[in-house]
Amino acid sequence: MFILGERPRGNADCSGREHVMADQSTPQADLLNRLSRIEGQVRGIARMVEQDKYCIEILTQVSAASRALQSVALGLLDSHLGHCVVDAARTDGAEQDAKLEEASAAIARLVRS
Amino acid sequence: MFILGERPRGNADCSGREHVMADQSTPQADLLNRLSRIEGQVRGIARMVEQDKYCIEILTQVSAASRALQSVALGLLDSHLGHCVVDAARTDGAEQDAKLEEASAAIARLVRS
Amino acid sequence: MFILGERPRGNADCSGREHVMADQSTPQADLLNRLSRIEGQVRGIARMVEQDKYCIEILTQVSAASRALQSVALGLLDSHLGHCVVDAARTDGAEQDAKLEEASAAIARLVRS
Amino acid sequence: MFILGERPRGNADCSGREHVMADQSTPQADLLNRLSRIEGQVRGIARMVEQDKYCIEILTQVSAASRALQSVALGLLDSHLGHCVVDAARTDGAEQDAKLEEASAAIARLVRS
């Protein structure tokens, strides 16, 4: 996962293993921070429901959590294009086509969700 | 919160307090269940990131969590229209306008998020 | 169609016939202007395709046309809530439920499109 | 423009000039057909507004036109990934980064529109 970091140029395998470090400043750590904030947002929404908060306020928080998830998705996609698709583009034929189709399908799911 | 339940006809105040019961089968309990599943989905996505799962698989889970949040939002909105907006429609003038504007703004945020 | 205009308070029938005037400044005229601009945008996109413009520039125009259509939809929905739903809220029982369900379904289609 | 056609493997320049033919069966002709249908849909929506059709019916048509535009966008993006991004991936450094950033920005606009 390399979102937000400088985009390495196709020198990683698609699971990106060698880039993973425990350090806060890595893209993986950043992504985990963002997901943990979203988890907290969803828990906060549940608390609002338990406390019978006003629907519109709850909806505002749901929209905020959705946008945060969308940002995570765009970051993942960005890093995927910069790695797996770039790698695939250097091969030819069937593998390249399969990777491009897979990326297009993921984009379509995202646009439609 | 009254999503999925039969829509009461405007006889609740907007926070819907009198409809809340501890019982699993209430709309509130259903909503809390759904939010707790979404929280689990987000935690699962973080685990996938930690385990360096393939980006496309992670993206699929992010899209699923987004759709689940969207469903929660549509349920909340539906119940809001059935309660607060219906109540407001029976009053007149400024209060009614304010409620309708508030609902429209929430719908716009949702459509654009 | 009453988008952008002051919201009348439920004194129109749902098709809003009595509000329609030839005059530019009516909400209906405004809506027709907007639709005619969108039609022009779509024609412009076709021209860009014919002239082999760069995909990214075409995509930017497609996104702009999508957002314009979305605005039209939000305006229509807003006026629908202010008329038909408010009218229905003053009746009771089956008709009210049917109108609310119809509005919720339209919102869901919009959010998911 | 190559949507729906077999994806050529990066042997076209980004504006895709050499693929353009007058023939109906080309991806460009298909795209133009789709855009002309969308133009007709938008004109049909304007006619519904003029005839004071019921808001919910108009909204249904607006959602359909939005989905059709979204499909056009996904097709364009798909062809862009298969051409320009694949081409860029075979170069190195600054040009590749610029192309990937541009594609990511277009995807983000699409997801958020």
Residue A31, class by beta-carbon neighbours within 10 Å (0-12 exposed, 13-18 middle, 19+ buried)?
Answer: buried
- What average pLDDT is seen over chain B? 81
More confident residue, B109 or C3: B109
For the segment A66-82, the average pLDDT, to the nearest whole number, is 93
pLDDT at D89: 82
- Is residue A94 over pLDDT 70? yes
Instruction: Report which residue type is found at B66.
Output: S
Chain A, window 60-89: residues with a beta carbon less than 8 angstroms from a chain B beta carbon: 60, 62-63, 65-67, 69-70, 72-73, 76-77, 79-80, 83-84
Residue C113, class by beta-carbon neighbours within 10 Å (0-12 exposed, 13-18 middle, 19+ buried)?
Answer: buried
C-alpha dihedral (A32, A37, A41, A47), degrees to nearest 10: 100
Residue A24 banded pLDDT, cuts 50, 70, 90: low
Q: Per residue in D78-105, pLDDT tens? A: 989 888 888 888 887 888 888 889 999 9
D108 in A contact zone (CB under 8 Å): yes
Q: Which pair of structure tokens corresponds to residue B72?
A: 């929660």
Block residue for tokens 């541009």: D102
pLDDT at A15: 52
pLDDT at D75: 92
Residues in D closer than 8 angstroms to C38, CB to CB, are 42
φ/ψ of residue B19, rounded to 5: -90, -5
Length of chain B as a residue count: 113
User: Do A38 and A65 meet the contact criterion of CB atoms below 8 Å apart?
Assistant: yes
CB contact under 8 A, A111 and D111: yes
For the segment B73-83, the average pLDDT, to the nearest whole number, is 90
Residues in C closer than 8 angstroms to B10, CB to CB, are 89
CB contact under 8 A, B15 and A76: no
- What average pLDDT is seen over chain A? 81
For the segment B86-96, the average pLDDT, to the nearest whole number, is 82
Question: If we measure between CA atoms, which residue out of D14, D29, C33, D110 comes closest to residue A77?
Answer: D110
Q: Which pair of structure tokens corresponds to residue D33?
A: 């057909």
- Is residue B35 over pLDDT 80? yes
Question: If we measure between CA atoms, which residue out of C38, C86, C92, A86 comes closest to residue D38?
Answer: C38
Chain A residue with the nearest C-alpha to that of D4:
A101
Mutate to test the interface with D, among A91, A100, A102 (most CBs of D within 10 A): A100
Q: Per residue in B12-31, pLDDT tens? A: 445 544 444 445 578 899 99
Question: If we measure between CA atoms, which residue out of D7, D1, D78, D59 comes closest to residue D35?
Answer: D1
For the segment A98-107, the average pLDDT, to the nearest whole number, is 91
Q: Which pair of structure tokens corresponds to residue A1?
A: 């996962």
- Is residue A19 over pLDDT 70? no
Calculate ∠ Cα D102-D104-D108, nearest 5°. 115
- Is residue A72 over pLDDT 80? yes
Question: If we measure between CA atoms, which residue out of C77, C68, C8, C79 comes closest to residue C33?
Answer: C68
Residues in B closer than 8 angstroms to C95, CB to CB, are none
Task: Give D52 to chain A, closest Cα distance, Å.
Answer: 30
CA separation, residue D96 to residues B8, B90, D92 (Å): 58, 60, 6
Residue ranges of chain D whose pLDDT lies below 50: 1-13, 16-22
Residue ranges of chain C whose pLDDT lies below 70: 1-24
C108 in B contact zone (CB under 8 Å): yes
Q: Which pair of structure tokens corresponds to residue D18?
A: 């050499």
Chain C residue with the nearest C-alpha to that of D79:
C55
Ramachandran category for residue D93: left, alpha or beta (phi over 0 → left; psi -120 to 50 → alpha): left
pTM: 0.80
Mutate to test the interface with D, among C18, C32, C33, C42 (most CBs of D within 10 A): C42
pLDDT at D24: 54
Q: Per residue in B36-68, pLDDT tens? A: 999 999 999 999 999 999 999 999 999 999 999
Helix segments in chain B, DSSP class H? 27-50, 55-80, 86-90, 93-112
User: Do A35 and B46 meet the contact criterion of CB atoms below 8 Å apart?
Assistant: yes
Residues in C closer than 8 angstroms to B73, CB to CB, are 111
For the segment A84-113, the average pLDDT, to the nearest whole number, is 86
pLDDT at C19: 44
Of D70, D82, D111, the CB nearest to A100: D82
CB contact under 8 A, B28 and A49: yes
Task: Give B35 to chain A, closest Cα distance, Å.
Answer: 6
